[in-house]
Amino acid sequence: MADFLIDVNLPYYFSLWNTENFVHQKDINDEWSDEQIWRYAQENDMTIITKDSDFSNKILLRQPPPKVIHIRFGNMKMKDFYDTTSKLWNDILILNESNKLVNVFKNRIEAIQ
């Protein structure tokens, strides 16, 4: 079973997420509401990777599962997105282990327990 659920608004073809540890929402149901995504991730003890602030707002009031990794880059070219994410990815994964929310910005990462 996958450990991470990639939100529909993030790239489908992305080499960092091209393993059995990741499932993209498009592979499940790309028309699900945020609540359905949340419930699926909760039932399967997953971390949601998203650009949607609704998930990070929701986890602030609850305890995992699910956990949330909130990509907060804004819009950027795919190459820039890949380069930035790749550079930060190992630190993101480490912080995800012991925190319920990891906010990822271009120049920093914040974690909330």
Distance CA 70, CA 50 (A): 5
CA angle 44, 50, 54 (to 5 degrees): 90
Write down the pLDDT at residue 97. 96
Write down the pLDDT at residue 95. 98
Contact 109, 95 (CB under 8 A): yes
Write down the pLDDT at residue 21. 95
Write down the pLDDT at residue 74. 82
What's the pLDDT tens digit per position in 4-60?
A: 999 999 999 898 888 999 999 999 998 999 999 999 999 999 999 999 999 999 999
Write down the pLDDT at residue 98. 97
Write down the pLDDT at residue 2. 83
Write down the pLDDT at residue 70. 98
Nearest to 100 by CA among 54, 50, 57, 66: 66
On the 0-12 / 13-18 / 19+ scale of CB atoms within 10 A, 72 is middle
What's the pLDDT tens digit per position in 51-94?
A: 999 999 999 999 999 999 999 988 889 999 999 999 999 999 99
Write down the pLDDT at residue 75. 85
